[in-house]
Amino acid sequence: MPDSKLAAADPPLPWPWVAGVGAEQAQQLLVGEAFSLAVPAGDAVQDEQASSKETGRKVRRGFNCGECGQRFRTESGLRDHLASHTEGGPHSCGVYGKEFSRNWVLVRHSRIHTGEKPFKCDVCGKSFALSFHLVNHKRIHTGEKPYKCGECGKKFAVSSNLVTHKRIHTGEKPFKCDACGKAFSYPSALRVHKRVHTGEKPYTCDSCGRAFSYPATFARHKKIHAAKKL
């Protein structure tokens, strides 16, 4: 298959059982995004190299299952293999007993327990459980930031970071405290706020044993001990 077809924006998905999933997410889950950024919709798997006329970069041909890591030379081979991740059901987790309608979802979930990380960065060697996590990680090395804010022009390497950033412009606060109703733009801010109600103090001073709810107050406290040592 020509590389130009793989690189096309929002390619048609031939798998009817992913109709309810967004195109980008489906590509990540089923095909796995490219380890070579020149081929965003297919995973590089073969040893032989082919030069891309459009980019001038070398890309490897082939397809990798985004869930189990098995490699295939053709898209049709991958497509046939993907059926093995969907047949039957429900599929139960042997640890938690949680059930999944698709076997490939169970395979992905099981990596929580096994610690399996089959997707490895060929630059630094760091491994990941999911293929799209590797794709996002590789942008650290390439400096690529494909997601741009339409309001201020700021760019991001990960799409979720752009979604979070946009709340600065929209004022959206989708995360609401179920105790007092106060709303926040970010889940991390809500988690910190909830300590007002729970009394949780996760930051403990090694010098005096005093505990704190917030990192800012903990940092100020540590400066007291540091000043005494001078």
Q: Where are the domains of the chain?
A: 1-85
Mean pLDDT in runs of 10 for the chain (230 residues)?
39 38 41 32 34 40 66 74 64 81 78 88 92 90 94 93 93 95 93 95 94 93 87
Nearest to 30 by CA among 147, 21, 39: 21
Q: What angle do CA 23, 26, 29 make, to 5 degrees?
A: 155
pLDDT computed for residue 61 by the predictor: 53
pTM of the model: 0.49
Strands (E), 3-152: 49-51, 58-60, 63-64, 71-72, 91-92, 99-100, 119-120, 127-128, 147-148
Q: How far apart are CA 59 and CA 45, in angstroms?
A: 10
Total Cβ atoms within 10 A of residue 35: 21
pLDDT in tens, 96-121: 788 877 777 788 888 888 888 988 99
Largest CA distance in the chain: 69
